[in-house]
Structure 1
């Protein structure tokens, strides 16, 4: 009954959004993906952005400020935000609107197989060509752009963030357990055992959102092959039964049997996982630089602030990626619809992207561009700037999260099966057999 109500609510939400966007989609003409500088007069009008971001987050704050400034110079212009923070509901809305050819001028999307299909269909503007035409391409961090690229290197999404994912840890709890920062991924099981024996939860896990646990699944293959393995796996050209896959699956099973995560981790929400760490009950918290305001400012009590440090993703034996190569996401990207892309959309986007680094940096976040420093909050600890500066030192290869790489069916099933594997409710062999079957059935056709 509950699922039926949720589906009905989402359907109503999508229908409402389609009506709201019908005016935008019905009369607008489309340009070719590479026609990034359409000729004509800049005529102010309302344009829309379908997005899935926190309403009080730095991105929306900055864009609202800049769009307001643009509207003052161009009477009649406005940017309408159509927000759905809940990601699963957003994805369903996005796919429904795309199928009906009702997507607005701007819309959020990851570099997923679905996004690649939209690009092939000609729905999305060539962002690399657009940025180069505007003279802005060279200003962006390579890691921020690379996170938005498809496997062939093409770029169809604009990055608005620049983050690094690290492991924050409690030095006092490490000392109590007599352990040190792990040098390799293989050190994690023993580390967890020692921490648990000392009376500490080893790793605070936000299991309800599912992707954080899936992130762990990506670590071993990334260290062993870079992104080569996931590129083949998602197409059914590699299997979890291969050596690389087996090592990753066994490592995840070992994390579970070593008690690395708190009891009931699969139902633990983001805020509760963070609180488990900041209250001193968990020794490690894997998250991104987006959490610095909670971990490296005076919002945290003085005693805890002194104990928090961080380490980056450990390597493995015979790793092909380096210590400075790990997960460095630039968030969900913004695509530009070829339908409705006209001189005013281009003019606004150029103005937005020119002004964005300063406005976004003022919120205390690292910008997706270089040479535009963020404003360090007055209540920040030294750790804040130390972690933020890691964005300037990210290596050539960054770990592409599996939740943006796999087709939606395989990804959902993988997230579900990982919980069973880590909880010990499924053996590695059963996990491998199940997931190889699911990916073989769904992966190849997602990339046709």
Structure 2
């Protein structure tokens, strides 16, 4: 009996040591054959091929690390990323939108502090503010995006048109395009259009960059002139036939196709759409403009920018060192340039050389007076949805005052919580 018991004890010790070894291996992020597999999640489906190339290069340079990339539709990603990240098994490296999603993920404690990482110093300091909170760098935005309409330079040149400097000029521009058989503005109202065009439509109507902070404090309302005027100007574009018919049924891919086919002269999204248009029509000449909704003398801002695609490390991950190594790899000059030029995205890193035509063309916007995207300064996701829904309601035929009042009800409900 004692001999049998001793055998059980020996077996038990062996199993315990084996389990301890497994536990140690898991904690250090080790996997099969000593290879650490890290999960990278984001929403940029259009960047998939470029990321595959970069991941392949990274894995050759780091044979003990494997990167598994998962891409979600952007709308799904905005609403579910924080849930996906919670147990640490997915999204060792993840991306975040600035604004309400960043706030939700921050409150959940899912950002690892990367303040002291060497790669943070490679970024332009003034372009990574969106990834800071409580004195810590929690994420580094990789992309510098201009959230304003793309326009077809060839069509404008053919008709002798220039971007307008005031609202009446913008309406006249749209009328001239319409007269000549073009859709003035391809508007993806079924997905991103309302949330994108709102930025330039309101940037000078409410030049106070604290306007949404004040809204959430009860010191401003959506029923005030700044938002009702913005909605009224959306209504004007609809009533005059300047945006896509059936706009609320048009998705971004469909609107991009209208631009690529040169049926539409402007696209209500942003600079990130230019590469997709050029893929379908390599010869098209593109540039950016912003509707100026006030008199030229009253215009404070020329356009809107966002620093987004914020790279972060999951605080729940057991593979944080490997995750940081991959982010560091993406910030190396050669790799950052490869990403920028192949995806048509400006990046927030210093000393990056742009080679693609559209990036060189739009680099002029770096010198213009642009403001950070207003929509991403709405800290509450329910309020953000209500603001966007008020635009969709107006496009669908609701009067601006009524749409504003309905949205303000949502604001009031969130203020009382």
Same fold flag (TM > 0.5):
yes
Quote how far apart the aligned CAs of 1:124 are. 0.9
Aligned residues: 384
Residue of 331, 338, 363 corresponding to 1:353:
331
Instruction: Tell me the equivalent position of 1:137.
Output: 120
Residue of 285, 302, 308 corresponding to 1:331:
308
Counterpart secondary structure, 2:55: helix
Counterpart secondary structure, 1:160: strand
| Whole-Å separation in 2 of the counterparts to 1:79 and 1:171 | 40
Instruction: Tell me the equivalent position of 1:204.
Output: 186
Counterpart secondary structure, 1:261: coil
Counterpart secondary structure, 2:262: coil
Counterpart secondary structure, 2:40: strand
Instruction: Tell me the equivalent position of 1:393.
Output: 367
Preserved CA contact (<8 Å) 1:110 1:404 = no
Quote how far apart the aligned CAs of 1:59 are. 5.6
Whether 1:108 and 2:95 are equivalent positions in the alignment is: yes
Whether 1:279 and 2:249 are equivalent positions in the alignment is: no
| Whole-Å separation in 2 of the counterparts to 1:277 and 1:92 | 29
| Whole-Å separation in 1 of the counterparts to 2:305 and 2:135 | 17
Over 3 Å counting, the alpha-carbon distance change for 1:354 and 1:101 in structure 2 is closer
For residues 233-276 of structure 1, the C-alpha deviation after alignment (integer angstroms, 9 at most, x for no partner) is: 25544211223223222222222222221211111122321232
Over 3 Å counting, the alpha-carbon distance change for 1:113 and 1:204 in structure 2 is closer
Pick the structure with more strand per residue: 2
Whether 1:367 and 2:347 are equivalent positions in the alignment is: yes
- What is the RMSD of the two structures over their aligned residues, measured on CA atoms? 3.6
Quote how far apart the aligned CAs of 1:107 are. 1.8
Preserved CA contact (<8 Å) 1:289 1:387 = no
Over 3 Å counting, the alpha-carbon distance change for 1:440 and 1:186 in structure 2 is farther
Instruction: Tell me the equivalent position of 2:412.
Output: 440
Quote how far apart the aligned CAs of 1:215 are. 2.3
Instruction: Tell me the equivalent position of 2:215.
Output: 233
Residue of 46, 52, 65 corresponding to 2:37:
46
- Structure 1 residues without counterparts, runs of 5 or longer: 1-22, 30-42
Preserved CA contact (<8 Å) 2:256 2:273 = no
Preserved CA contact (<8 Å) 2:187 2:193 = yes
**Superposition pairs for residues 239-258 of structure 1, below 5 Å?**
239-258=221-240
Residue of 197, 201, 210 corresponding to 1:216:
197
Preserved CA contact (<8 Å) 1:364 1:375 = no
Instruction: Tell me the equivalent position of 1:267.
Output: 249
Quote how far apart the aligned CAs of 1:184 are. 1.9
Counterpart secondary structure, 2:149: strand
Structure showing greater radius of gyration is: 2
**Superposition pairs for residues 269-308 of structure 1, below 5 Å?**
269-295=251-277, 300=281, 305=284
Counterpart secondary structure, 1:329: strand
Counterpart secondary structure, 1:373: coil
| Whole-Å separation in 1 of the counterparts to 2:268 and 2:71 | 27
For residues 202-237 of structure 1, the C-alpha deviation after alignment (integer angstroms, 9 at most, x for no partner) is: 21112221x322222232432242422123225544
Instruction: Tell me the equivalent position of 2:69.
Output: 81
Preserved CA contact (<8 Å) 1:54 1:60 = no
Over 3 Å counting, the alpha-carbon distance change for 1:346 and 1:148 in structure 2 is closer
Residue of 316, 324, 330 corresponding to 2:294:
316
Over 3 Å counting, the alpha-carbon distance change for 1:296 and 1:342 in structure 2 is closer
| Whole-Å separation in 2 of the counterparts to 1:319 and 1:146 | 28
Counterpart secondary structure, 1:196: helix
Over 3 Å counting, the alpha-carbon distance change for 1:319 and 1:59 in structure 2 is farther
| Whole-Å separation in 2 of the counterparts to 1:281 and 1:78 | 44
| Whole-Å separation in 2 of the counterparts to 1:208 and 1:349 | 33
For residues 124-144 of structure 1, the C-alpha deviation after alignment (integer angstroms, 9 at most, x for no partner) is: 1234x13xx41x434323564
Over 3 Å counting, the alpha-carbon distance change for 1:331 and 1:279 in structure 2 is same
